[in-house]
Amino acid sequence: MIIRQWRGRTLPEKADDYEALMTKLAIPDYSRVAGLLAYYFTRNDQAEYTEFLLITHWESVEAIKQFAGEDYQKAKYYDEDKDYLLEFAEFVEHFEVFASSNPD
């Protein structure tokens, strides 16, 4: 099992709209992929920015490739992200799960 992690930041005044966009666009996009076991879309409101942290739990690297493409270590962005995000990290992080409290 693999954990995929992405972070993005937006201005506080755009955070609610970006959360709505992620709910409308990204969650269905992730959810359509076989091999996605779980997702956590989170946000942390700060004075200067709001940070979004997306953590997804996948069966395998092959499952991630069905979502992100062959170059699965690169971040996947939507066209609408340019209206919200302050920067665009090129890569995401992946972690192999070696222990879990989840029985699956």
Asked whether residue 88 carries a pLDDT value surpassing 70, the answer given is yes
| 101 confidence band (pLDDT: 50, 70, 90) | confident
| Model confidence, pTM | 0.90
User: What's the pLDDT tens digit per position in 14-40?
Assistant: 999 999 999 999 999 999 999 999 999
In sequence order, which ranges of the chain are alpha helices (DSSP H)?
15-21, 27-31, 61-68
Question: Would you list the domain boundaries of the chain?
Answer: 2-89
Looking at the structure, give the CATH architecture of the domain made up of residues 2-89.
2-Layer Sandwich (3.30)
- Phi-psi region at 69: left, alpha or beta (left = phi > 0; alpha = psi -120 to 50): left
